[in-house]
Structures are given as structure tokens and as C-alpha cells.
Amino acid sequence: MIKALKLATALNVILLLGAGFSAASAEGLKVVSSFTVISDFAKNVGGDKISLTTLVGPNGDAHVYEPKPADAAAVAVADVVLVNGLHFEGFLPRLVEASATKAPIVELSKGVEPIKSAEEDHDHGAAGAEKEEHGAYDPHAFQSIHNAKIYVRNIVDAFCTADVANCDTYKTNGAAYTAKLDATEAEVKAAIASIPESKRLIITSHDAFGYFQHEYGLKFLAPEGISTDSEASAADIVALIKQIKEDKASAIFVENITNPRLIEQIASETKLNVGGTLFSDALSTPEEGASTYIDMMHHNIDTFKKAILGG
């Protein structure tokens, strides 16, 4: 509550300061995106017709992000706010309220077939109540390229509604980018097809790849669930190590958004080598080679192949 008040106060100050020079449209449609994957889609659709602010930056963790006063200020003056939805951005309700924005909050996962959280089945007591708060669905829908195309379509619709004059440009850009996503999806399918069925069990930090698994057929296990906001219990870790040994996992990976310590511990207990870093819930900085969604997909499939097949 105190945080929300502080945010609201800081925002009032910023709004007062900014009152004299808002709404000049030379900068284009003012778009706020909740995290880097959405920002990349928005850039591809919006091109130079939009000015873009990203809340959770490269390698950031949206599950546990704490908004800053500048975020509320950006949301307050936005024309459109693009978010993932499915409770991915836990910070969002408070931020939207503090900003008092009039902009539409567009949930880009709308229209995807949501996957139920696997954790739900064995919840009980207090843990169950906590999971309820996260929502029963896995929010990482963007890890399937099939779904990414739905996100892009939703962005085209949102931009066309907010900026009718440039709708044709948004549609043309959206179609061109969707063609690139189609090509990337074919590459992902070919990469997975090259991995034998018996070598497709993979370990990561948290359950970020449920939609990738559903769409493309690798199988993922993780010590942490669909959010990073609660730590894995000792019993969960013991059970996971047992399963890794019994089911013969072929590779284990750290993620760019999480602390590698737990994965390194599991790797040493199971005698698996850490096969590299996967980009799960955020893109990288430009220097790290996964600063676009398509580069992230290439990086991840190359990392899988290298760790599992060698070379």
C-alpha cells in the first residue's frame, strides 16, 4: 500500500511537470509494452509510426518486477498499453491504477489456447491459495511461434483502432513479420525433428516452456513452477533429481532471468553438464545475441541441439 501511495505521489509530480508539453504527435503513437518480447513485436508492426517504452527491460523478470515512478508516468500518457495477460505481469493492476491511464490495456494472449498450469493438480492448503493468485493458466504463451503470430495480429488490431490513419502500414508490416515468423517456426520444427525422441527431456529453472513443449515436442521439467516468485522446496528438488535420473534427462540449462545457483546444484547432483543459457521470459541486450524474438528462438534451438547432440 505504501508503495502504491508513493508511486501515485511521484506520478502527480511528473504529470504536473509534464503538463505543458504533452500530446505532440510528431513522436507518433505512444505505445507502452510490458516486456521485451512484446516490444520486439510492436517495433516490427509499428516501425517509425510509434514511440515505444518498455517496462521490464532486457534479461528482466516480469513475474517479480517492481514498477518505478517513471513507468507509471509512461503508462499515464500512453495511447496504447500492450501486455501479455494470463497474470504474467503481477505488477500490472497496481501500476495501471496508480497511473490512472485512459489508454486501452491490450492483452496480447487473447485468442491463444491457454494451457493449464501443471502445478494445479497437486496443490493443497496455503500453496493452493497462493497459486490461485497467479491464475490457473501458464502465461508463457509467447514461447510458441504459433501464438506469437496471434500476438502480432492483436497488435495490428490495437494499432489500427488507436491510429486509423496508419492502419494500412500496420497491416503491411504485420504481414511481413508474420512471414518471417512462419520461416522461423519451420526452422524450429526441423531442429526438434533432428533430436531423437529418447533425448528430448530437458531441465530448466522454471516452467517457461510449456507452450514450446506443447507445440514442438521437447519435454521440459523445472524445479520452479510457472512463476519465479516462490522458491522450489527441498522436497520438490529431491523429487526432481530422482526423476531426472530415472527418466534420463539429456540436458540442463540456466535461464537469463533467474539465478543459476539451483540449476548448478541439480546439475552437479545428477552429473549433467549445464548446456548453456536459455532466453525464457525476456530478450537479451544486443551484445548477447538474443535481442529479437526470432534471434531468441534461434539461440534456444541452437543451444538445445549443441547440448543434446554435441558439436
Point out which residues bind Zn ion (CB under 5 A).
208, 281
Q: 3-state class of 156 per DSSP?
A: helix
We find the least distance from the C-beta atom of residue 180 to Zn ion, in angstroms, to be: 25
We find the least distance from the C-beta atom of residue 231 to Zn ion, in angstroms, to be: 14
We find the least distance from the C-beta atom of residue 228 to Zn ion, in angstroms, to be: 6
We find the least distance from the C-beta atom of residue 208 to Zn ion, in angstroms, to be: 4
Element (H, E) at 73: helix 69-76
Which residues, at least 6 apart from 102, have a Cβ–Cβ distance to it below 8 Å?
none
CB closer to Zn ion, 11 vs 208: 208
CB closer to Zn ion, 138 vs 295: 138
Taking a C-beta distance cutoff of 8 angstroms, is the pair 139, 226 a contact?
Answer: yes
The residues with which 206 forms a beta bridge, in sequence order, are 224
Nearest residue to the partner Zn ion, using Cβ: 281
CB closer to Zn ion, 52 vs 226: 226
> Is the alpha carbon torsion for 113, 188, 37, 202 positive or negative?
positive
CB closer to Zn ion, 154 vs 258: 258
Give 274-291 as a DSSP string: EEEEE--SS---GGGT--
CB closer to Zn ion, 73 vs 296: 296
We find the least distance from the C-beta atom of residue 116 to Zn ion, in angstroms, to be: 16
Taking a C-beta distance cutoff of 8 angstroms, is the pair 46, 29 a contact?
Answer: yes
